[in-house]
Amino acid sequence: MPHKNLQRLSIIDIARDAGVSPATVSRAFNRPDLLKADTLQRIKAVADEHGFRPNRVGSSLRSGSTRTLGLVLPTLRNPVFAECFEGAEQYAHAHGYSVMVASTSYAPATEAAAVQSLIDHQVEGLILTVGNPARSSTLRTLTAQGLPYVLAYNESATHPFVSVDNGAAASDMVSLLAARGHRRIAIISGPLTASDRARRRLAGARSQARKLGLDDVAHLPMASHTEADSEQLRALLDAPQAPTALFCSNDLLAASVISRLRGLGLSVPADISVCGFDGMTFAALMVPPLTTIEQPSHDIGARACASLLACLQGETPPSLRLAHRLISGGTVAAATSAAS
């Protein structure tokens, strides 16, 4: 049974008890292959007896390696990012790394602080989702420091990333809506300045709408990324030439839109069609299930982690656009005659 060790033991104590030098104890944990079998066994026995485990702080300081990665995400309350975290966490653990997460609430100041805190902790690299890679001072800081990083969800010409092709995905969704007979589509998003992804999705949707000869795509930006405003929705739908389909730039927002529409007395998809983007697990449980674009979030996290670890090996892994998948749920119906 383990002794109560209030005062933590060190490698030196174990060395003394096992009748070896501290260096040998160190080897027992890091390069066990270098030791004679019975030396190793004796050391392990003593260590176990005391419940001893090497202090990573000492180890990190001496070796200059913390084997810890940083992960910076807007919010874990969006299940999409939570999945990404779990993907990254699992991949990291499987490869001997730990991860420290920080959430930024989409605020650049919080983002900068989070990254700084992670750097202070001597993380060896970062995975992050930022508002806009092109304007991110955080990213410039990282480059200046020479600290490896990989973006997740963001796309960029100048920074390494793992994402889906947001433009193509939005385009696919517009094609689906068009195939269902919708010609007047509106995009609902959060603040564009805080999300280049929403901007890319908007651009992709508009371009495809033009290509298919649909009406101009209206854009309704909300103050929040995840909450729709009833008044704005009502105004949009009361106008002449109101859209028959609402394409929301994320699933949480889509759920909010559907809920608000119901408050306005409209039913989805009977009165109006709605779709989202993200493919959070929950979307499939909605009644009816949400029509959306599924992003492989777990994989985005895992692959971003893989890329980052490759960076740490001195490689320069390519940016990745993983496959998205259009999930046809029950919130998009065939367009009927003009609504009012």
Can you tell me whether residue 195 is helix, strand or coil? coil
Element (H, E) at 150: strand 149-152
Closest distance of CB 166 from DNA, Å: 40
Which of 115/178 has CB closer to a second copy?
115
Of the candidates 19, 32, 51, 318, which one interacts with a second copy according to CB under 8 A?
A: 51
Q: If binding is defined by CB under 8 A, does position 286 make contact with a second copy?
A: yes
Which of 218/327 has CB closer to a second copy?
327
Report the helix count and the strand count for the chain, using DSSP H and E: 12, 12
Under a CB-based contact definition with an 8 Å cutoff, are residues 169 and 201 in contact?
yes
Chain-centroid distance of CA 29 in Å reads 34
Of the candidates 19, 58, 181, 318, which one interacts with a second copy according to CB under 8 A?
A: 58
Of the candidates 47, 102, 170, 186, which one interacts with a second copy according to CB under 8 A?
A: 102
Closest distance of CB 212 from DNA, Å: 59
Triad 31, 33, 36: Cα angle to 5°: 115
Question: Both tokens of residue 233?
Answer: 């929705």
Which of 98/336 has CB closer to DNA?
98
Under a CB-based contact definition with an 8 Å cutoff, are residues 172 and 211 in contact?
no
Residues in contact with a second copy, counted by CB under 8 A, come to a total of 54
32 upstream amide cis, omega within 30 of 0: no
Under a CB-based contact definition with an 8 Å cutoff, are residues 44 and 59 in contact?
no
Q: Which residues bind a second copy (CB under 8 A)?
A: 2, 4-6, 51, 53-58, 60-61, 66, 68, 75-77, 79, 82-83, 85-86, 89, 93, 98, 100-103, 116-117, 119-122, 141, 144-146, 252, 255-256, 258-259, 262, 268, 281-282, 284-287, 289
